[in-house]
Amino acid sequence: MQKWILVKFTDNLLERASSTDRRRDDCFGEPCHSCHVVHILHAGGGWKGGRSRGGSSGLTGVMGMRGGMGKRRAAPTTPSTGQEGQVKTLFFVAVIGVALTILGLGTDYWVELAPPKTYYSNETCMVAHYGLWKRCLTTLWATDIDPERESCGPANLPGEIESNCTFFKFFTSGDNAVIFQKTTQKSLSVAAASLALLSLFLMVTAAVCIIMSLSKGEKFFLKPASVCFTLSGILVLLSLIVFHQSVLALLASDHTVPIHHELSWSASCIGISGAILTVAGLLFMLLTLPFSPWERCLPHDHSAT
């Protein structure tokens, strides 16, 4: 009787051990989270009667794995101290570009048109300059002009006799203007002004995004700011190109009066501001990347220890 009980007890132990091994093998074959927990518990201290002998260490391993996964998923949303300094520096540069754009848009020295000095009389001559919004005709003394200069001007020469400025009627009645018997092209002039105003709107939007990023400490606002600054710089340059095409169309409208033309300092401000805003927008875009491009492109000077 005792021998039969011992054999039965041994068979139960063997059956229970084989059942535990089958459940463990089935679980390890599945790519599920619970199987990873089983694997960690098994590695922590083995199994006995459906429980792990190292249950506390296995639970610690599970919590450590979940905490590590959460840490890897977390991404920094606030700029670091170094990045904040870079953002402020780039924003200062972009503000310079915005100031140059406003200066260029508000003045009317985009182009100067000058006929020959001897076209009107020997004593006086006329020169015209205009921008996006108005034109001015200035009368100068011929004696004040550089003797080596064949045309009248420049328009900002001191000692002018008379200056007459009028606004264009492109945006009111839709009439073209006549300058030295040459007619302006309304469509090109309106296109240049529209591009300039749109770029100004994008500059304001980008500046608001940068201010919100610095005040709230959110790196997310740098992305729309970079796009707006880049687009505003491109639109400013396109506005200058379209304006120059309108000047060429004006000169080609009539050939009665020979006219010498040259872009003036307002156009120079627009060109410089467009380049500054485009570069600043691209640099802002580099700051929004999740990695440092300098570390990726440049070799490391120090070796890892």
Cα dihedral sign, 237-243-249-255 = negative
pLDDT, tens digit, for every residue of 248-297?
A: 999 998 888 888 889 999 999 999 999 999 999 999 888 887 766 555 56
**pLDDT value at residue 173:** 81
* Higher-pLDDT residue of 123, 129: 129
- When the pLDDT of each residue in the chain is averaged and rounded to a whole number, the result is 76
Selection from 202, 198, 132, 129 nearest residue 171 by Cα:
132
Which residues 6+ apart lie within 8 Å of 55 measured at CB?
A: 41, 44, 45
Tokens 């639970």 locate to 59
Share of the chain above pLDDT 70, in %: 66
- Is 138 in contact with 153 (CB distance < 8 Å)? no
pLDDT of residue 185 exceeding 70, the answer is yes
Q: What are phi and psi of 77, to 5 degrees?
A: -105, -10
